[in-house]
């Protein structure tokens, strides 16, 4: 009888420990479950260091920003938070081998760090003008662009 009374006395403590453990797990899950990260990221899949300029439309109109410097095989967040636009525009230069990734959408840039409002009259306003290629995010809230060597498909 001693063993039976010992077992019945341990049962509530065992249940209490199990309940406390489950509450702790639930609390950790709730605290750890923050909002999903939603960013625009760029991954440099090349063997070169590259510079990135980005164009997009926000509530105030067209904006171009630069330069983000990405090491070979590196990634970086260009814009933090949920994407506000469907289309983003990229111009990139290869620092090590020369060359660039460009497109037909003409936007303003300059040689040093910049944020430029508007895409009109770049040269008259003292800026350079470069062609950016379009990235369609499909209205996703998060997107990663993978820049590869010319002639090589991305992974």
Report the C-alpha gap between 135 and 63 in whole angstroms: 15
Q: Can you tell me the mean pLDDT for 20-36? A: 43
Report the C-alpha gap between 126 and 43 in whole angstroms: 30
Can you give the pTM of this predicted structure?
Answer: 0.72
> What is the pLDDT, as a whole number, of residue 30?
39
Label residue 151 by pLDDT band (50, 70, 90): low
> What is the pLDDT, as a whole number, of residue 152?
52
Average pLDDT, the chain: 81
> What is the pLDDT, as a whole number, of residue 13?
55
Label residue 145 by pLDDT band (50, 70, 90): very high
Instruction: Specify the higher pLDDT residue, 16 or 129.
Output: 129
Report the C-alpha gap between 152 and 129 in whole angstroms: 27
């Amino acid at each position: 009888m001693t063993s039976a009374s010992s077992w019945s006395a341990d049962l509530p403590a065992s249940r209490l420990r199990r309940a406390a453990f489950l509450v702790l797990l639930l609390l950790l899950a709730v605290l750890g479950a923050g909002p999903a990260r939603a960013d625009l990221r760029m991954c440099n899949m090349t063997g070169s260091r590259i510079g990135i300029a980005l164009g997009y439309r926000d509530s105030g109109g067209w904006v171009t920003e630069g330069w983000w410097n990405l090491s070979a095989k590196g990634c970086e967040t260009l814009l933090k938070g949920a994407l506000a636009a469907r289309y983003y525009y990229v111009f990139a230069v290869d620092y090590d081998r020369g060359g660039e990734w460009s497109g037909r959408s003409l936007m303003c840039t300059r040689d040093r760090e910049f944020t430029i409002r508007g895409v009109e009259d770049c040269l008259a306003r003292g800026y350079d003008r470069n062609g950016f290629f379009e990235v369609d995010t499909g209205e996703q809230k998060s997107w990663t662009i993978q820049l590869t060597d010319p002639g090589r498909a991305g992974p």
